[in-house]
Amino acid sequence: MGSSMQIAYYPGCTIKASAHQHEGAALAVLRTLGVELREMAEWNCCGVVHSLTSDNLIRHMAPVRVFARLREQGENEVATLCDMCFNTLARANLHARQQPEQIAAISVTSGDELSYDGGAGVLHLLQVLRDRVGLAAIRAHVRRPLRGLRVYPYYGCKLLRPAEVGIDDPETPAVLRDLMQALGATVVEGSLQTQCCGAYHVVDHAEIVAGRVAATADQASAGGAEAIVLSCPLCHYNFDTLQATSGAPLPVFYYTQLMGIAFGLEPDQLGLEEQQIALLPLLQRHNLVHVKGEQA
């Protein structure tokens, strides 16, 4: 099937390493939907976090450079899968639009190679799915509805805040809920869905992250959820490796993996065995995958 939609694609560093199963699943799902993500010819790390202080201009250089390269290849819009890349790029873009004199100041330090006016757009993949592809088209591709599977969508912080770059209502987001329902899953919700998991404290204060992850997973379990579904590679790492709950740990899916299962794609395209907490037993229990060699 030919692609009816093509969008420039910024992967970022983690998507190419510890979250590559998310990329594999996303590309497979998008092929099914007729969307082609075309990786940028040249890209660099976005810097991961937006620089918040007024005199630290040099830290805007990395994300602005991504937009400058995008423009050089004649594109005006770029999509990304990573929540942290999305947030950093979107905020740098806003900054470039609102304070062009600051971008000009850092551009001068690099021989004007960063010339950029903030005019391009950045999209999170969830926006592409919701706003460009549409839930009706996604629903039409479901071959194996996730009937009976109870999932807890976890948004974290970078998809939603600050509101000027967030992709959904920061208080009561719906995008993951609507997507999961379109796939036939049952959604369990709770107050901790939009609270930060502790993020990079996993590096040297993992106990902070473990506390947040346990509270959230406990809330999901108490609501009857069997799995957590999320988007951010850092949240994914934290929930997958630091989930020490009172009960059995909940498997952690990228939404792209659940889309792939519902679309009837081959499980080996979806990186289902690359998690610490096994995904397959839950999927087998719901008759959603069959391990090769096993009687269907």
Name the site residues for another protein (rule: CB under 8 A): 12-14, 17-19, 45, 47-56, 59, 82, 84, 156-157, 161-163, 170-171, 192, 194-196, 198-205, 208, 211-212, 233-234, 237
Rounded least distance, CB 145 to another protein, Å? 32
3-class SS at 31? helix
Q: Which is nearer to another protein, 50 or 141 (CB)?
A: 50
Rounded least distance, CB 15 to another protein, Å? 9
Q: Which is nearer to another protein, 12 or 267 (CB)?
A: 12
Tokens 């004199």 belong to residue? 101
Q: Which is nearer to another protein, 153 or 267 (CB)?
A: 153
Residue 137 · residue 174 · CB < 8 Å: no
Q: Which is nearer to another protein, 126 or 146 (CB)?
A: 126
Rounded least distance, CB 47 to another protein, Å? 7
Cα 70 to chain centroid distance, Å, stands at 20
Q: Which two tokens stand for residue 287?
A: 């008759």
Rounded least distance, CB 140 to another protein, Å? 34
CA distances from 56 to 59, 61, 106 (A): 6, 10, 10
Q: Which is nearer to another protein, 34 or 190 (CB)?
A: 190
Concatenated DSSP letters of 193-256: GGS---GGGGTT-HHHHHHHHHHHHHHHHHTT-SEEEE--HHHHHHHHHS---SSPPPPEEEHH
Rounded least distance, CB 94 to another protein, Å? 14
Q: Which is nearer to another protein, 99 or 181 (CB)?
A: 99
Rounded least distance, CB 158 to another protein, Å? 8
Rounded least distance, CB 60 to another protein, Å? 12
Residues 174-202 as b/e (b if ≥16 CB within 10 A, e otherwise) read: ebbbbbbbbbbbebbbbebbbbebbbebb
Residue type at 7 in one-letter notation: I
Cα 131 to chain centroid distance, Å, stands at 16
3-class SS at 153? strand
CA distances from 82 to 22, 72, 125, 283, 288 (A): 9, 23, 8, 25, 27
Q: Which is nearer to another protein, 156 or 267 (CB)?
A: 156
Q: Which is nearer to another protein, 171 or 294 (CB)?
A: 171
Residue 102 · residue 57 · CB < 8 Å: yes
Nearest to 24 by CA among 213, 287, 274: 274
Rounded least distance, CB 169 to another protein, Å? 11
